[in-house]
Amino acid sequence: MYNALVRKEVMGILEKEVGSFLDKFLTPIEKIWQPSDYLPDPSSSDFKYELEEIQTFAQEMPYDLFVTLIGDCITEEALPSYESWLMSVEGIDQEKSGPTWASWIRSWTAEENRHGDLLGKYLYLCGRVNMRQMEITTQYLISDGFDIGTSMDPYRNFIYTSFQETATNVSHRRVGTLAKQTGNGKLAKMCGVIAADEARHAKAYKHFVAKILELDPSEMILAFEDMMRKKIVMPAHMMRQSGQKAGELWGHFSDAAQRCMVYTGQDYINIMKDLLDEWKIEHVTGLNEKAEKAQEYLMKLPSRLQKITDRISTPDLQFEFNWVKK
């Protein structure tokens, strides 16, 4: 079990820099893009043409790629769960004034909220989605909650968000790339700007971990090891559709993302390697004996995961998602 008092002390030290974090990693509201910048304007004379273009390209998207896009949108729409979870983390006090960790979470959430808004409106306009079923899945996902294995530990939560924001960057960027290859420029731009946000957010959380490694290296290394032993689960791991139990849909969604090469087991390993390099884990010094063993475990983990991943095959059978109109 982690020492909550030490965590709060470290978070308090970093909180003095939150103002600079907000300036460095987030974009002023008046300057950042909004969903309407990339969606057709209903009052425009070109609206009918642009709507027809969106619907034509949506019908042509491969099934697995299309359901991955929908699942990505649902994941983004479950943002209330993520904000409420992070607000309860050790060292975060909503009642404090001034630039605080709570300020960071609210501002980060506000940026993230645009992602679901943009994709949700696109999917509504595209005409290929059973919106009621998609909305049911979204409501279930928020209602069911989630357990990402971090407890209320800020160290584990920052490890998680570093990994997860990088993973969502990969997923949105790949969907955009595949859309562009088929001429779907509008969707490619939407996914591209979302992916850019995710990359910027990932950079922020990686920075927080790097700062904590300077202040409390042994405990951060141990937190990293613990999260990797548990394996990072995506925030939508409790996903379900009508008639299912919580979590029953996740495997099918993950298989679809693997088949269309949007997010794969290899990506998981690559992100792990990137984090090890980013934080220079191999060269962290001043560790206690337990943390040194954790450091050794972490450095060997990518090759172990590679051997497992090389033996796993993705199911060929497509699952029928009720999100897609027949």
| Binding-site annotation: residue ranges | 76, 112, 115, 165, 198, 201
Per annotation, catalytic residue among 15, 64, 72, 76: 76
- Whether 33 is catalytic is yes
SS (H, E, C) the chain: CCCHHHHHHHHHHHHCCHHHHHHHHCCCCCCCCCHHHCCCCCCCCCHHHHHHHHHHHHHHCCHHHHHHHHHHHHHHHCHHHHHHHHCCCCCCCCCCCCCCHHHHHHHHHHHHHHHHHHHHHHHHHHCCECHHHHHHHHHHHHHHCCCCCCCCCHHHHHHHHHHHHHHHHHHHHHHHHHHHHCCCHHHHHHHHHHHHHHHHHHHHHHHHHHHHHHHCHHHHHHHHHHHHHHCCCCCCCCCCCCCCCCCCCHHHHHHHHHHCCCCCHHHHHHHHHHHHHHCCHHHCCCCCHHHHHHHHHHHHHHHHHHHHHHHCCCCCCCCCCCCECC
Cβ within 8 Å of residue 128, ≥6 positions away:
55, 58, 59, 61, 66, 324, 325
Q: Which of 64, 165, 216, 267 is catalytic?
A: 165
Residue among 108, 150, 166, 201 flagged as catalytic: 201
Is there a contact between 210 and 278 (Cβ–Cβ < 8 Å)? Answer: yes
Q: Which of 72, 100, 104, 115 is catalytic?
A: 115
201 is catalytic: yes
Q: Measuring CA to CA, which residue among 158, 134, 140, 138 is closest to residue 148?
A: 158
Please answer whether residues 45 and 158 qualify as being in contact, where contact means their C-beta atoms are separated by less than 8 angstroms.
Answer: no
Residue in 33, 117, 144, 182 annotated catalytic:
33
Known active-site residue 168: yes
Choosing from 64, 77, 197, 226, which is the catalytic residue?
A: 197
User: Which residue among the candidates 77, 198, 216, 267 is catalytic per the annotation?
Assistant: 198
Three-state SS sequence of 197-217: HHHHHHHHHHHHHHHHHHHCH
Which parts are annotated binding residues for Fe cation? Answer: 76, 112, 115, 165, 198, 201
**Residue 198 falls in the annotated catalytic set:** yes
Among residues 168, 252, 264, 279, which one is catalytic?
168
Active site residue 112: yes
Catalytic residue among 15, 90, 112, 216: 112
Q: Catalytic site residue 115? A: yes
Whether 90 is catalytic: no
* Residues known to be catalytic: 33, 76, 112, 115, 165, 168, 197-198, 201
